[in-house]
A and B are shown apart, each in its own frame.
Chain A
């Protein structure tokens, strides 16, 4: 009960934030929500089903490129292009998953497989002239004053509420999934694959479902990215850096927890801004100092809170341990 109240209070704070936040803070909050959303999507695969993907930018990039290409070349509104983007990403996820799981590719080897797919897709997209190749795909920016949800053109506030809705939606979806049969199957597979198989769980199907669902959700995040920034470059959309961005929030927040990706995003993005502000306020203007401090902060979090911040915080604030079951931890 206490947790629900806390969640509602947090949600209310986010809904009302634009009333107090200026454009700068709003842009930071958009990044927070975007990272929370992507982290939630990745968490399904790694946190719930235990399958390490280090090439998750593949799905975001595919969703982004397909939807953006439909919009740029044929004027297909973003909302109508979105299913196509998701379908392509889900298909890619199915291929990666089927290849990996059918041939028993596990652990770091599966992670390498996901990186390989992201990398060769990046190279492939660098050589597709109709999608801009290395020169990038630019979406016409259009008006930023109105609200056009069909074409995803409009004011930054529209994008803020959109990504907030996506993050909340992903949270609720994951919560629901964990209470379903498939959720329990994922947790069983994550804890002991052989035991899960012995219990009659179709491990291949369960893992494939996790990959495809995660890919589809990540693709929707990619669509948001494309229409928010209006530029797509293969290195930026499919690059390793993007994949690492995706996984940081759930790792810092708490892998396999529902609230971990949100908390992780709430820590990481503002932490970067705070470090920038702090170093500037103290008169340190050396380039790269922020990254150094950021890296050290991450090291400290991983060292002292190896399970992530949320499991520690949950214990500190004394949330009902029964809630743990809902979180798959």
Chain B
């Protein structure tokens, strides 16, 4: 069953729950329902085609179900969706076009380079940009006054990804003796490898990385690389992969009977994607990924999951969905508090954003002086029966972590 199905929560529950939660927490009354106001025109920039189309489409699915939920909260929004085509030139012109067409706030753009291009347009035009996903730290180091990011920076992602491993070992009472690190040699994989190499020594991890193996994700099979990893005798595999190559790695591990205590990703996609579950079946289970994820226990997230499940019964709820929803929530909340949809009025109130009841794991959404939300937190998700479940942190957990994972042949 997809993670998104929470049929017991209605939009009415969602409305009542979030309003009550907001009132109880005293977060400036930002989520109290009120009479419908003029809809906020939200320009959403996503890579709906091109090399990042899969991720962009995933974000869009989150955006598609959001207006109805916002309307229930008395924060009507009108989405104006534009495709950046995973192209810098297009991202910039689309941003200009959205503003010319009346967008009062922009949201996007999933990828750092495109986001910075959009940010410059927003800064020039005095229109707020709420970043749904983009991890390059430099974006919020530019001194922009119009940019607000509700997503962790890349170093923070990796630091938390590694720190969560320590927490898992502590809780389970089992610590691996040594790890082998395998990563795709593409842009993302190499960047992640660089960050792991830099941060790992500073985090006092309870095990060493005995070997780092980079591989070509487009290779027909990864027998040599997996064989090399097995030969290290490591009892933990840290894997940075995408969907297709994560499947190749696991298949080869099964074939070669390489059975470390766990396969864990410090923050890459791949092991929580639909194709991974469909292709590997029981072998997809027990893989672990550390990354920002939805907190399935809040009223708001349950309503979002329900709406998402109804709209997209075959799609898996991903991080992209949650962060895109939250970006729209931040913009709508600003419009509510400002009592206006004017971009300047939004900019006046966005720095004082304080949203306690939201959907992603972490503290209240607040922005520091640079426009960065420092309260985002990563979670550990583990695969069970063809879907990811949160196992850490405890307050968001849906299941207990299984570590060490059962051997390949011991799985039902």
Contact = CB atoms under 8 A, between A and B. Distances in A.
Interface in B212-270: none
B342 interface: no
A288 B49 contact: yes
User: Which interface class (under 10, 10 to 19, 20 to 34, 35 or more) fits A?
Assistant: 35 or more
Question: 9 tightest CB-CB pairs across the interface, nearest first?
Answer: A287-B48, A138-B138, A24-B96, A24-B100, A134-B191, A134-B187, A288-B49, A231-B113, A27-B96
13 contacts: A22-B100, A23-B96, A24-B96, A31-B93, A136-B113, A138-B116, A141-B143, A231-B88, A233-B113, A285-B81, A287-B83, A290-B49, A290-B83
Interface of B: 48-49, 53, 56-57, 81, 83, 85, 87-90, 92-93, 96-97, 99-100, 112-113, 116-117, 120-121, 123-125, 136, 138-139, 141-144, 154, 187-188, 190-191, 194
Interface stretch (A125-133, A167-175, A202-210): A125-133
Given A23-B125, A27-B93, A138 B120 contact: no
A313 to B, nearest CB: 25
B142 A140 contact: yes
A106 interface: no
B113 A135 contact: no
A233 B112 CA distance: 10
A24 B53 CA distance: 24
Given A23-B125, A287-B83, A288-B49, A231 B190 contact: no
A135 B49 contact: no
A22 B88 CA distance: 20
Contacts of A133: 190-191, 194
Contact of A27 (B92, B141, B142): B92
A235 B87 CA distance: 11
Interface string A233-265: 111100001000000000000000000000000
B48 A24 contact: no
Given A141-B123, A290-B83, A291-B85, A24 B99 contact: yes
B187 A233 contact: yes
Q: In terms of DSSP, what is the predominant structure of the interface of chain B?
A: helix
A329 interface: no
Nearest to B186: A134
Interface in A142-180: 144, 155-156
A144 B123 contact: yes
A133 B193 CA distance: 11
Contacts of B154: 135
A309 to B, nearest CB: 21
Contact of A229 (B88, B191, B194): B88
Contacts of B87: 241
A134 B49 contact: no
A229 B96 CA distance: 14
A141 B191 CA distance: 23
Nearest to A23: B96
A28 interface: yes
A79 B81 CA distance: 38
A94 to B, nearest CB: 29
Contacts of B49: 287-288, 290-291
B194 A273 contact: no
A290 B85 contact: yes
Contacts of A290: 49, 83, 85
B188 A288 contact: no
A36 to B, nearest CB: 13
Contact of A23 (B90, B100, B141, B194): B100
A229 B142 contact: no
Given A144-B124, A285-B81, A288-B53, A126 B187 contact: yes
A134 B117 contact: no
A233 B120 CA distance: 17
A291 B120 CA distance: 26
A140 B123 CA distance: 13
A230 interface: yes
Nearest to B112: A136
A24 B97 contact: yes
A44 B161 CA distance: 51
Contacts of B81: 285
Interface in A186-203: none
Interface string A268-292: 0000110010000000010110110
Contacts of B190: 126-127, 133-134
B181 to A, nearest CB: 16
A273 B141 CA distance: 32
B99 A23 contact: yes
A230 B116 contact: yes
For A231, A234, A291, the residue with the greatest tally of chain B CB atoms inside 10 Å of its CB is A231
Contacts of B138: 136, 138
Contacts of A236: 88, 113
A241 B113 CA distance: 15
A127 B121 CA distance: 30
Given A138-B138, A230-B120, A288-B48, 12 more contacts: A22-B100, A23-B121, A23-B125, A31-B93, A126-B190, A135-B194, A138-B142, A144-B123, A241-B87, A273-B93, A273-B97, A290-B83
A178 B272 CA distance: 59
Contacts of B53: 287-288
A238 to B, nearest CB: 12
Nearest to B117: A229
For A22, A23, A31, A156, the residue with the greatest tally of chain B CB atoms inside 10 Å of its CB is A23
A38 B141 CA distance: 31
A136 B141 CA distance: 14
For B56, B88, B89, B141, the residue with the greatest tally of chain A CB atoms inside 10 Å of its CB is B89
Contacts of A156: 124
A231 B48 contact: no
A245 B117 CA distance: 18
B111 to A, nearest CB: 9
A22 B142 CA distance: 26
Contacts of A285: 81
B106 to A, nearest CB: 13
Nearest to B155: A135
B113 A141 contact: no
A12 to B, nearest CB: 24
A290 B124 CA distance: 28
A24 B93 contact: yes
Contacts of A34: 89
Contacts of B97: 24, 273
Nearest to A285: B81
Contacts of B194: 129, 133-135
A231 B83 contact: no
Contacts of A127: 190
